[in-house]
Amino acid sequence: MLILVLNAGSSSQKSCLYSLGELLPNTLLEPLWEAHLDWTVPQEGGILTVKSNDLQQQIEVKERNSALKVLLDTLVTGKTQVLSSLNEIDVVGHRVVHGGAKYNEATVITPEVKQAIANLISLAPHHNPANLEGINTISEILPQVLQVAVFDTAFHTTIPEVVKVYPLPYEWYEKGIRRYGFHGISHEYCAQRSAQILQQPLESLKIVTCHLGNGCSLAAINQGICIDTTMGFSPLEGLMMGTRCGSIDPQIPIYMMQEYGLDGDELNQILHQESGLKGVSGISGDMRAIVKAIADGNIQAQLAFDIYIHRLITGIGAMVASLNGLDVLVFTAGVGENSSIVREKTGAGLAYLGLELDLAKNSASPRDENIATENSQVQVLVMHTQEDWAIALATRSQFP
């Protein structure tokens, strides 16, 4: 079965093509073709990077409305061609950020599912529109192909009510105000991969996974089941992030509206795009830029970094409390995988758990490795999350 994976975000589009047989493999397969469309480049338009047939090609893309067609054309034309026709694709799997309370597993996309994704745009305004756009474009280009939604919220549907329900009027919960959690595809993959790396049954492990990218979240996973997470009703809650504030006193936005006349749109922009590392440092939401500024003596950058680490350590502590212990701590995503200083400072703050990092291993650009010392009571893994592969497996599972 040929499975095309579309992982759309507000500023990028990651895509892969996998070939899977009837028996699902136990190890990761390399994609036949992969593409990354980046809209954050300085020039007008975007850059499409395609890898296949042992080569890499870059293409300038001028318009968003034709970008996916340009991306798909590289499957069937030019040096990156791996198919004779797009009709060879059997199914398309989409990452969908918000599936609400209803969808707890990968789901074949129907008009009802599309409407549900659209209805949830207000809860994930920077992601669900891009997910829906990809679904609609595939419907136009390949009207006969089956499509599957793999929801980022699905893994967190197992969290208990004591975690899920906010201390607000209960009728709000009945109206859908609850903790949903996000990054679930990544958290679930990392938990399963941890068991493989450590060669231990997943059911025997208490794991905290740290997905640290521009967006950041933690998950507490007991015996393979998510029991707690930091993101909630929206991807804004929880840890300090690149440009998002994370959890703050809810009175603050009310105060800024009353005293300074900020409206809802202005607050939304500030809380999502102008806060976090960027807001405190005044420089950037990119951890690499923050670390560089610290080396140059920038005091605000140092403060932003210190707040980030403080909130990360206390967030992990809360997850450990939910688990009543910890066997494995996982770092993944852009910051988690690549920032040795973030891992070092976080590990130092968790020494009370008996966690001890091997600083040499930590500094050696580890990938899918244990960087804890032999004496550490907690295993510490640095992992390259494979969301696209997880989406492919979840999509294939819908066709036994």
Residue 257 counted as an annotated binding residue: no
Q: Say if residue 337 carries a ligand binding annotation.
A: yes
Residue of 325, 319, 351, 339 whose CA lies nearest to 382: 339
**How is the chain split among helix, strand and coil, in percent rounded to 5?**
40, 20, 40
Is 286 a known ligand-binding residue? yes
Residue 334 is labelled as binding a ligand: yes
Rounded distance, CA 171 to CA 231, Å?
Answer: 21
Q: Residue 140 is which amino acid?
A: E
CB atoms within 10 A of CB 143: 7
- The answer to whether 65 is a known ligand-binding residue is no
d(CA 43, CA 35): 19
14 carries a ligand binding annotation: yes
The DSSP bridge partners found for residue 60 are 47
The active-site residue out of 38, 152, 228, 327 is 152
Does the annotation list 228 as a binding residue? Answer: no
Q: Is 358 annotated as a binding residue?
A: no
DSSP string, 224-248: TEEEEES--SSTTSSS--SS---S-
Question: Was 336 annotated as part of a binding site?
Answer: yes
Residue 288 marked in a binding site:
yes
What's the sign of the alpha-carbon dihedral 40, 41, 45, 49? Answer: negative
The answer to whether residue 54 is catalytic is no
287 known ligand binder: yes
Annotated binding site for Mg(2+): 7, 387
Q: So which residues are the catalytic ones?
A: 152
Annotated binding site for ATP: 14, 211-215, 286-288, 334-338
Annotated binding site for substrate: 95
Annotated binding site: 7, 14, 95, 211-215, 286-288, 334-338, 387
